[in-house]
Amino acid sequence: MIVWLTGGSSGLGLHTARALQAAGHTVIAGARSFHEGEEDGIHHLLLDVTKPQSISAFCERALTIAPRVDALVQCAGILILGPCEETSPEEYQRVMDTDFLGMVRMNQAALPLMRAQRQGRIVMFSSINGLLGIPFQSAYTAAKHAVEGYAECLQMEAHRYGIQVCLVEPGDHRSGSDAYRMHAAAHSPLSPYAEDFRRGTGVIHHDEQHGSDPDALGREIARLLKRRSMPLRKRVASPDQRLAVWLHDLLPGRVNSLILRRYYLRRPKK
């Protein structure tokens, strides 16, 4: 299978690219930091999903490596941590432009090729945060919620052309780069949110550092591509994170919010 993959330089994208290559797929991976070449059996191409010209150049070069695209796996993403009040519209736009609109642009480049083939598979990385919000990740959460709704529409529209769509919803995994986990520029130690921000981001960092194995997630993506029919959603998360999603859907909003506030923002008793 010929697989195009975005966000292949680090984090879950890197682990997924390696797993797909190990499973026997031809992987053409794109990232902003890549120079053209091949490493460990994976083809590397420069790709910035926020720039249409970069996407066009990636597609043209990828088609010279292999004359078709059987699957598009979208892992590119950035994260800006910050209070809602202090995250600028420009920072929200930056996250949306990569995490959501970047997927839209790549899909629009690949879909005509897949329609002509009468088959194709599109795998988009959402997140547990595409299903519920947590403090200080509002930009990322908004982008992943957008991906969730968009994928449902795409799945219905593309089905008649033999194109399958799957949302992968990872929980916390041990991966990622600080280069893609920024803080809102307006936030400072003098912020009224400073103490909660420190506690909340400390919990987020701890959960990521002690998260699930990213190689196992990569292998799960490889198994998805081998299935005759992919599910619309595939949740890859620990039992407690699965429970959090279940409670989010079951409990009244006020109760769910209280549980999450206590988990992320609990202050020590004096």
Active site (catalytic) residues = 9, 126, 140, 144
Q: How many CA atoms lie within 13 A of 8 on its CB side?
A: 28
Instruction: Return the structure tokens found at 217.
Output: 């997630």
CA distance 219 to 223: 6
> Which phi and psi angles does 219 have, rounded to 5°?
-65, -30
Map residue 57 onto helix, strand or coil. helix
- List of long-range contacts for 146-152, beta carbons under 8 Å, 24+ apart: 146/96, 146/100, 147/99, 147/100, 147/103, 150/100, 150/103, 150/104, 151/124, 151/126, 151/232, 152/232
Which alpha helices (H) appear in 130-178, and where do they start and end? 138-158
Strands 26-31 and 42-46: parallel
Instruction: Return the structure tokens found at 63.
Output: 């088609």
CA distance 124 to 1: 17
